[in-house]
Amino acid sequence: MILTVLADNRTVSFAFFDEGQEKATPLSTFCIAALPARTADEYAALLDMMAARGHFHGVNTVIIASVVPPLTSALCRAVHLLYGEIPTLTVGAGLRSGLTLRTDTPADLGADLVAMAVGAATLQKPPFLVLHCGDVTTLSAVDAGKDAPVYLGCAILPGAALCAKTLKEEAALLSTVALAKPPHAIGKNTGDSVRAGVLVGHAAAIDRLIADFEAEMGKKNLPVIATGEEAELVLPLLAHHTQKEEALAHKGLYHLALLNAKKGKKAP
């Protein structure tokens, strides 16, 4: 069994996969808060509890994608506390990705972006775009290459919920607004005005980025693979068609684990 771990500034999510699947489908996923004060012992205890609840035993490989270095070390220690010295891979320099990275500094590319691009490449032949809608929204461009998909780069912008939170914090007269699809672009009250500005405006920004990506890549009507916890809010407002995929980064991590296991890759 393969355990995949995805960590960002807000959450740590886990997924269990049976080895040998042609189509990567997690048996189960769960998510916990990424608290700065949480220790490796606590992460190990929580992981053990969740694994026991799902009767997930026999984990022999773990792969971690983290954009928070202190979390990476704590999670690696937690895995070793729970499972012993099994191969524990971390996405970063030295790990085969199956992608050609054409960014200025490939070593600085976020592990989550790599995982999502790999996951999308198992579902869609390049060229394509990968859209993640979360606290941070990212749009990545992946082109066809001679030997492997080519990761060209990405755009990063604040997510819809983060924009709404910033409005509340910086504008004294605006109250907290629950995000939902606004009835109109022209808001008739404060709540609908904020929803229209944040969500319709966010969707418009993404649509513009998609159009600019296509122009710069010299392509038209590129497939867009979308994922993320805010996707349900944003995708219905987009002019461009998207294909929504759950647990895209975890599916990519599963394939990265298989790729590096085949090559005899050991834990960094």
- As a whole number of Å, the CA-based R_g of the chain is 19
Return the exposure string of 225-246: e unless at least 16 CB atoms fall within 10 Å of the residue's CB, then b: bbbbbbbebbbebbebebeebe
Instruction: Say if residues 117 and 105 touch (Cβ distance below 8 Å).
Output: no
- Active-site residue flag, 104: no
Q: Note every long-range contact of 77-86, with CB atoms under 8 Å and residues 24 or more positions apart, other chains counting.
A: 77/40, 77/44, 78/40, 78/41, 78/43, 78/44, 78/47, 79/3, 79/5, 79/44, 79/47, 81/40, 81/41, 81/44, 82/44, 82/47, 82/48, 83/59, 86/59, 86/60, 86/61, 86/62
Q: Round to whole Å and give the CA distance between 2 and 17.
A: 5
Candidate list 108, 112, 135, 192, residue with the active-site label: 112
Residue 250 — φ and ψ, nearest 5°? -65, -40
Counting every residue written for the chain, the total comes to 268
Q: Which residues are catalytic?
A: 112
